[in-house]
């Protein structure tokens, strides 16, 4: 969306009112309406910039989240047989139970 010029809203409004039979001539009322239209144009332009920046940030974060999901759910690459044999931990020896003492003793 292109930015709105400061007097663009006022021009459109005065043309609309002129078509309805109301002409905006110089005076305090048209000046205050023109100031209000100028502030409204500024507010629209600033909010449009903010929305554009927020959308860009959301898109960046969404792409990061997609990448993280992709990495965590992607199938793991098959390892070579040699590396599996080296990487496999050796089984621990079973713990021995203490021998029971016989009652004969």
Share of the chain above pLDDT 70, in %: 78
pLDDT in tens, 4-53: 998 999 999 999 999 999 998 889 999 999 999 999 999 999 999 999 99
Strand, coil or helix: 22: coil
pLDDT of residue 14: 93
Residue 25 CA to residue 61 CA, distance in Å, equals 52
What pLDDT does residue 40 have?
95
Cβ 18 vs Cβ 12: under 8 Å: no
Alpha-helical segments (H) within 20-89: 28-73, 81-87
Q: Give the separation between CA 74 and CA 50, rounded to whole angstroms.
A: 36
Please check the confidence at residue 105 and state whether its pLDDT lies above 60: no
CB-based contact 79:87 (threshold 8 Å): yes
Q: What is the pTM of this model?
A: 0.58
Per-chain mean pLDDT for the chain: 85
Indicate the DSSP class of residue 12: H
């Amino acid at each position: 969306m292109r930015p709105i010029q400061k007097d663009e809203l006022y021009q459109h409004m005065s043309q609309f009112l002129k078509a309805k039979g109301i002409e905006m001539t110089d005076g305090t009322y048209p000046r205050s309406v023109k100031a209000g239209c100028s502030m409204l144009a500024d507010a629209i332009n600033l909010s449009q910039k903010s929305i554009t920046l927020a959308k860009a940030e959301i898109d960046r974060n969404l792409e990061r989240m997609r990448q993280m999901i992709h990495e965590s759910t992607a199938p793991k690459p098959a390892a070579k047989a040699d590396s599996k044999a080296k990487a496999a931990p050796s089984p621990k020896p079973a713990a021995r139970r203490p021998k029971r003492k016989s009652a004969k003793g």
